[in-house]
Structure 1
Amino acid sequence: MKFGCHLSIKQGYIGAAKQAVAMNASAFQYFPKNPRSLGIKNFSKEDTERCKIFCKANGLISVSHSPYPSHLVPHSQQKRQNVIVSLLNDLEIADACGSVGVVVHFGKPLNQADPLKSYQLMIQMLDDILQQWDGEAKLLIENNANVPGSMGTTLEELVQVRTLSQYPEKIGFCFDTCHAFASGLWTGKNWQEVLDKGLAIGYFEELEVIHFNNSKYPTRLGKDRHAPIFDGGFIKEDQFEQLIRTPQLQDIPFILETPKEECPHEQEIQQLREKWGDVE
């Protein structure tokens, strides 16, 4: 199993990669730049190249996460343009680091009464970005954590958005376990149903990363509050085990975004390795 966590780039991209290896992680996630800004980063090509070479030499998988203001349904034309330029910058950095892609949030609807307009805007925005992108890194769309029935909470939506894009080969998916639990997509008791549905519509063929998080709240409440995997959450170990023992997920990196002040990520990765590290 490939377990890792989100790491800081204060010591550069190569610094994050070295920290991952020091933690006995086999994957890591990072913000390519300031996580609270859509500004463009003029990054060091030497740093990204060293990161790429180091990851390849150590069998390390990396994935980038776009800054918080990035999502695919911006509510103004200026925000839309800013997000497009920012995501292209994120893709360039991720590609230079040898990362599989850039995770981006689905977004919220412009108008609850007319969700179709939001989907149309999202698909057009994806096309505007991806027609300008020729690298290997993909945009990885993450499932939302809102209440059941909200935009971005079903596998069908994610697959349909990808299908309707002119550049589906440049789009993949990120499955967040806390988001899925919060939205009722995965209640902890219906993994086989989620798996069967995802396989039938081709979702798991395009899955590149799992955000591996427990939930501080019960399922179907739409609350996105992460908890440690083994303590303080409503998703139980046996429910996580069903997911982990799924053959289709054996090569997918599981990235912790759990609160490290409650359980340090190095300790949590060790716990994961002891319990599930040899799952095949």
Structure 2
Amino acid sequence: MRAGSHISIRNGYLEAAKTALKLGAAAFQYFPKNPRSLGIKQFNRQDAEACARFCREQGLSSIAHSPYPTNLASEDAALREATVRSLRNDLAIAEACGSVGVVVHFGKYKGGDTLQGYKNIIQCLHEVLSDWQGEAKLLIENQAGEGSLMGTTLEELMQIHKLSDRRSHIGFCLDTCHAFACGLWPAAQGGWPELAAKAQSIGYFEHLLAVHLNDSVYACGQYKDRHANIGQGYIGEARFRELLQWARTQDLPVVLETPVPKGMTHAPEIAYVRKLAGD
């Protein structure tokens, strides 16, 4: 397990990696560009490649996260075209930075035929990856179910993976708050072993390449995506200890997307996560 947190690239990709190391992290996540825009970024390749070298030297793992407007399921032609261009740009940046991949959500489908929404996702993934030859992958993240139930089950994610012509370039990122919010991670005692057994049986773990570690402001099954600090939400310390002791045996980036008080950093929470994992 490589514990870490989301880091700003305000001072560049290399500085983001250095900041992660100062926090005691072994992994970090970053937005490769403006998170509120699908615009194409002409990035500093020297800075990105310096980040990759630093991460290799220090044993750091990183993942990128696509901008908020990204929507694989959209029916809107202009948004879909922008999504494809943006994700190709994200992959190029992630590749230059030496990152595992780019986290992406299904997005939301607003049409009446849900099956068409899934077709849109598969086609969009195909367009993004049709000529991609890099090592960085698209990491599909499970959704909380807020506004749409698409992307809330492991079976859906595996089916999308199976139906993709470019499945070797697709992996998964498990978000713990999302899994709890939609009931995928059961609230009852033994919930993680139950989820883990299902994930193992359908082959999900074979493609799991990252974890978003977030507690939940709301109770299980309320379909609300609101992150809380680890042990301070409805998931709670005991359930996280169970998950993290499993994650400890996996060589995965486990990244916090939790609130940080003004003037503070994620360093204490990263240390706490390691303690729960038994490191």
* TM-score bracket for the superposition, by shorter chain length: over 0.9
In structure 2, C-alpha distance between the alignment counterparts of 1:148 and 1:201, rounded to whole Å: 26
In 1, are the aligned partners of 2:23 and 2:265 still within 8 Å (CA)? no
CA deviation after TM superposition for structure 1 residue 250, in Å = 2.0
2:180 counterpart SS class: helix
Q: In structure 1, what is the equivalent of residue 151 of structure 2?
A: 152
Paired with 2:84 and 2:29, the residues of 1 have a C-alpha distance of 21
Higher mean C-alpha deviation, range 10-19 or range 72-81: 72-81
> Does structure 1 residue 25 correspond to structure 2 residue 25?
yes
Q: Distance in 1 between matches of 2:196 and 2:88?
A: 32
**Is contact 2:73–2:121 with CA below 8 Å preserved after alignment?**
yes
| CA displacement 1:128-173 (0-9 Å, x = unmatched) | 1111211110000000101698111000000100100001100000
Using the TM superposition, give the Cα deviation of residue 207 of structure 1 relative to its aligned residue in structure 2, in angstroms: 0.4
Matching residue of 2:47: 47
Per-residue CA deviation, residues 165-196 of structure 1 (Å, 9 max, x unaligned), is: 00110000010000000001002332222111
Aligned to 2:3: 3
Specify the alignment match of 1:133 in structure 2.
132
Q: Which amino acid aligns with 2:203?
A: G
Mapped to 2, the partners of 1:169 and 1:10 lie a distance apart of 32
CA RMSD of aligned residues (A): 1.7
Are the equivalent residues in 2 in contact too, given 1:183–1:220 (CA < 8 A)? Answer: yes
2:165 counterpart letter in structure 1: Q
2: distance between equivalents of 1:247 and 1:219? Answer: 21
- Tell me which residue corresponds to 2:261: 261
Instruction: Please give the residue correspondences for 1:39-118 in structure 2 after superposition, counting only pairs within 5 Å.
Output: 39-111=39-111, 113-118=112-117
Unaligned runs of 5+ in 1: none
Correspondences of 1:205-244 after superposition (within 5 Å)? 205-231=206-232, 233-244=233-244
2:75, 2:120 within 8 Å by CA — same for their partners in 1? no
Cα shift readout 1:231-262 (whole Å, capped 9, x = no counterpart): 2x001211111211226862111100001128
* CA distance in 1 between partners of 2:246 and 2:274 (Å): 16
Q: Which 4+ residue blocks in structure 1 deviate beyond 6 angstroms?
A: none
Task: Tell me the CA shift for residue 43 of structure 1.
Answer: 0.6
- Alpha-carbon distance in 2 for matches of 1:199, 1:14: 36
Task: Supply the distance in 1 between the matched residues of 2:247 and 2:225 (Cα, whole angstroms).
Answer: 27
1:174 aligns with 2:173: yes
Q: Provide the residue aligned with 1:275 in structure 2.
A: 276
Aligned residues: 276
Q: Distance in 1 between matches of 2:97 and 2:146?
A: 35
Output the CA distance in 1 between the equivalents of 2:239 and 2:147: 20
Of 240-249 and 215-224, more deviation after overlay is shown by 240-249
> Does the aligned pair in 1 maintain the 2:245–2:278 contact within 8 Å?
no
- Structure 1 range deviating more: 239-248 or 218-227: 239-248
> Which secondary structure does the structure 1 equivalent of 2:165 belong to?
coil
CA contact under 8 A between 1:32 and 1:94: conserved in structure 2?
yes
The 3 A distance-change label for structure 1 pair 143 and 249 is: farther
- Give the AA of the match of 1:36: R
Work out whether residues 145 and 182 of structure 1, in 8 Å CA contact, stay in contact via their aligned partners in 2: yes
- What is the identity, as a one-letter code, of the residue corresponding to 1:106? F
TM-score, normalised with respect to structure 1: 0.94
Q: Is the 8 A contact 2:66 2:90 kept in 1?
A: yes
- Greater shift, 4-13 or 247-256, is seen at 247-256
SS at match of 2:74: coil
Taking a change above 3 Å as real, the CA distance of residues 197 and 275 of structure 1, as seen in their structure-2 partners, is closer
Contact 1:178 1:212 in 2 (8 A): yes
1:62 match: secondary structure: strand
Preserved CA contact (<8 Å) 2:142 2:152: yes
Distance across 2 between alignment mates of 1:43 and 1:238: 42
* Deviation by residue 1:50-102 (Cα, 9 ceiling, x = unmatched): 00000000000000000101121123000000000000000000000000000
